[in-house]
Amino acid sequence: MIGLMIVHTGEALIDFIPVSDSQGNRAFKPVPGGSPYNTAVAAARLEVPNTFLGRISRDFFGDQLVDYLKQNEVDTTMVARDDALSTLAFVSKGSTGEARYAFFAQGAADRKLQIPDIPALHERVRAIQFGSISLIADPVGETIIDMVERERENRVISLDPNIRESLVEDIPAYRRRLDRAVAASTIVKVSDEDLQWMSGSGDVKTGAAALLDRGALLVLVTEGARGAAAFTKDLIVRVAAEKTSVSDTVGAGDSFHAAVLAWFHHTDRLTRDGVASLNESDLQGLLRFAGAVAAKTCGRPGADPPRLSEVATRFRSW
């Protein structure tokens, strides 16, 4: 582990992406995925030193997951291998490119992360990124919540709930866990749809205020083609979406989240004080950079985020 580091934790799974051959025959291509996993890969491509913490199967899909982390220079020293099978997610594209998912995860390796699997974190670790379907099941959900609650005063904690309601069996219990996750977080990155589900309000400002009241210092809301918005106790900043041709939206939110963390890393503000001290200009720069990274991802099939060299020419001054 070299330099400052972000720990990404949660599900690591195989996305089956729909593809067609030259004759129009449809099939599914297996590719590494999972929201925190995608964010780790995207952050590494944006030249942020980071590691993935989680359980990954010893099956051949698990080998694919670990190999892809290594190919993208994500540290794997916190990965534990497990004899359980890998989680599988089949992806279907809607008419406007939005992704729909069907998950097969019962008893899977990435759901079996337990508190003894969590190592003592080195002082070089500045941030923990977590969320998504790993917060639904146990023991992984309680393990991750325990860790972020323990570390909330020592590191930047960044949450993307990435809600998949169809997987939730006990909605009241899940809402209580999300409340704990938000309360432990410095940054909450959320889609407008997830925000409405969490807050019960269709008004983005009202929903973001509710998350700030629960303890977050910064709430970032992605609104698809409408762009994105940043909310603090004192500021509201909105930035229009980057123009791009959309192949699909798989991994777009994850790459946006990775870009947010990369912006804080490259501007040397990846601390709680750094997040708390942002002004309007800072938030505009943050949203524009994250939007540019997400737009590049949307222009490609699957979760294929850009490298820093593809977007940095516009952000040399950060």
Q: What is the DSSP string of 155-221?
A: SEEEEE----GGG-S-HHHHHHHHHHHHHH-SEEEEEHHHHHHHHS-S-HHHHHHHHHHTT-SEEEE
- Please tell me the pTM assigned to this model: 0.92
Banded model confidence at residue 317, pLDDT cuts 50, 70, 90: low
Contact 221, 232 (CB under 8 A): no
Domain that holds residue 200: 5-314
**Peptide bond before residue 139 is cis, with ω within 30 degrees of 0:** yes
pLDDT tens profile 13-54: 998 988 887 788 888 889 999 999 999 999 999 999 999 999
Give the Cα separation of 42 and 234 in Å (integer).
Answer: 30
* CB proximity list for 267: less than 8 A, separation 6 or greater: 274, 282, 318
The token pair that represents 216 in the structure block = 């977050």
* Amino acid 58: pLDDT: 98
pLDDT tens profile 195-209: 999 999 889 999 999
| Lowest-confidence segment of 178-182, 204-208, 296-300 by average pLDDT | 296-300
Q: Work out the percent of the chain whose per-residue pLDDT is above 70.
A: 92
Give the Cα separation of 311 and 95 in Å (integer).
Answer: 28
Q: Work out the percent of the chain whose per-residue pLDDT is above 90.
A: 75
| Lowest-confidence segment of 73-77, 272-276, 310-314 by average pLDDT | 310-314
Can you say whether the dihedral through the CA atoms of 255, 257, 258, 263 is positive or negative? positive
Is pLDDT at 2 greater than 70 in this prediction?
no
Contact 249, 98 (CB under 8 A): yes
Output 237-245 pairs: Cβ under 8 A, ≥24 positions apart. 237/280, 237/283, 237/284, 237/287, 238/287, 239/284, 239/287, 239/288, 239/291, 241/291, 241/295, 242/291, 242/292, 242/294, 242/295, 243/295, 244/295, 244/296, 244/298, 244/299, 245/299
The token pair that represents 61 in the structure block = 């899909």
* Amino acid 95: pLDDT: 57
* Amino acid 87: pLDDT: 96
DSSP-derived pairing of the beta strands 87-93 and 99-104: antiparallel
CATH number for position 202: 3.40.1190.20
Query: Residue written as tokens 């004192």?
Result: 234
Arithmetic mean of pLDDT, 116-130: 94
Contact 19, 235 (CB under 8 A): no
Query: Residue written as tokens 């639904």?
Result: 136
pLDDT tens profile 147-175: 999 999 999 999 999 999 988 999 999 99
* Amino acid 266: pLDDT: 94
How many domains is the chain built from? Answer: 1
pLDDT higher at 152 or 1: 152
pLDDT tens profile 222-239: 998 899 999 999 999 999
Give the Cα separation of 94 and 248 in Å (integer).
Answer: 9
pLDDT tens profile 79-122: 999 999 999 998 886 655 566 778 898 899 999 999 999 999 99
Contact 194, 163 (CB under 8 A): yes
Arithmetic mean of pLDDT, 235-259: 84
310 secondary structure, DSSP code: H
* Amino acid 297: pLDDT: 83
Mean pLDDT for the chain overall: 91
Residue 61's φ and ψ, nearest 5 degrees, are -70, -40
* Amino acid 17: pLDDT: 83
Is pLDDT at 278 greater than 90 in this prediction?
yes
